[in-house]
Chain A
């Protein structure tokens, strides 16, 4: 997506990539990427593998957020999650579930979520997150801000996630975080699900420029097959955990 050039308006070059866990196909991927190019809104949601219907929940959150307006304050976002959770619940009412699926469904669904809105005129970005999907703002190949997790070592196996049954998980509202930043020409905004975010941050921390540059080249070439091979190697090297990978890269 390249926006029309205008005075004082930043152009954005947007690429994205989605990859399931090793041995799985894309239909099994529980990460969701949705982009609304006209509103400059971008979202990644990462459905929790152990939860019920998490793939649908992740996609629903990402899609409905980018096609909404605002939802960038914790209060607005939480009210919206409550409504979305009710809608997901309703989609289950016609299902005839086994006792074990019913038990799983009772706990609801869970996903990590990060939504980013870019204002190319005001030259700024804003983000909201609940969970460990991340946005990383880089300038001159240095990390300016990583949000909500800012260190590759502190990704946890049990982060607080966006619940579909909010009444049972009211504590999650306190884990919603927001941030913003200024943008300049040449900056990079990368939005990633947790495993990819840990990988990207570690590359930045270790100043491993070559791997990162290879990734950016392949992404810009939109060569998904080569990208899948690239990430396969990264998994084998143990730099990248074997998890679903979702990445949106915005070059300013």
Chain B
């Protein structure tokens, strides 16, 4: 994760992924905000793995495994100030001040203990499922930049996919990012385009995209149809953003197109 993306020596993968996760959390909070109140429509867990395996929230939420979104909203690690370009309605652009929160900082060290990380995810899911047996099935968005260093994740991945509520099975979506310039595979129906054994393993532990996720993918211009798995291999930066947008589209609301505003000028508050 400390390496840059292929073809973009200036952007470290870890920095970019942290930015995407922070924007995703921001978007989820805004979707749940009504006037000044955040409604607890979701519970969120962020797990990081590398040198250690554990909850990745920083600040007041540090070490919390599962957090209602209202608390996520109220306890970011930091709130930064920035400027955002918006249309003035008369064909011009104006810059307006905005504040945006940060919950996680990038870390990149150690190996890739994927099985241990997925075991922790399973434990978090089981705890939530025991309290919400009829809830909307949880979605797991797993992002990795390499092969598992602690064994074959197939077994634990299948265990996660077998968990369920009365409303359906837990969804596990996987996104692999690469430092090498290789052709990416997005939301495949089968593993015929995957030459790599590790890629096939991740494909096998990726859930098919339900209808509402497919609709979000279509809205984003992503090729995904009935039977497509929630899986991307050799993802580039735009694929990572889309992976999170599609994976958090369960409200049926328009995915947050923050990539359109990448010229935001940031400064620390």
Contacts and interface: CB of A to CB of B under 8 A. Distances in A.
Interface of A: 49-50, 52-55, 97-104, 106, 166-170
Contacts of B79: 99
A97 B101 contact: no
A168 B94 CA distance: 11
A169 B96 CA distance: 16
B197 interface: no
Contacts of B35: 52-55, 101, 104
Interface of B: 29-30, 33-36, 38, 73-74, 76, 79, 86-90, 96, 98-101
Contacts of B99: 99, 102-103
Contact of A168 (B74, B86, B98): B86
B101 A99 contact: yes
A104 B89 contact: no
Contacts of B96: 106
A52 B34 CA distance: 6
A50 B34 contact: yes
A192 B61 CA distance: 46
8 contacts: A55-B35, A98-B36, A98-B74, A99-B101, A100-B30, A101-B35, A102-B98, A103-B98
Given A50-B34, A52-B35, A104-B30, A99 B89 contact: no
A9 B14 CA distance: 76
Contacts of B98: 102-103, 106
Nearest to B32: A100
Contact of A99 (B34, B88, B100): B100
Contacts of A166: 89
B94 to A, nearest CB: 9
A167 B99 CA distance: 21
B118 to A, nearest CB: 31
Contacts of A55: 35
A168 B90 CA distance: 9
The 5 A-B residue pairs with the shortest CB-CB distance, nearest first, are A167-B89, A101-B36, A170-B89, A99-B99, A100-B33
Contacts of A104: 30, 33, 35
**Secondary structure of the A contact surface, majority rule:** helix
Nearest to B96: A106
Central interface residue in B35, B76, B86, B101, by most chain A CB within 10 Å = B35
B90 A101 contact: no
A55 B76 CA distance: 29
A55 B37 CA distance: 14
B87 A168 contact: yes
Contact of B73 (A54, A97, A100): A100
B90 to A, nearest CB: 7
B74 to A, nearest CB: 7
Interface centre among A53, A100, A170 (most CB of B within 10 A): A100
Given A106-B96, A106-B98, A100 B87 contact: no
A100 B38 contact: yes
Nearest to A170: B89
Nearest to A53: B35
A54 B36 CA distance: 11
A100 B38 CA distance: 8
A103 B98 CA distance: 8
A99 B35 CA distance: 12
Contacts of A170: 89-90
A68 to B, nearest CB: 24
Contacts of A168: 86-87, 89
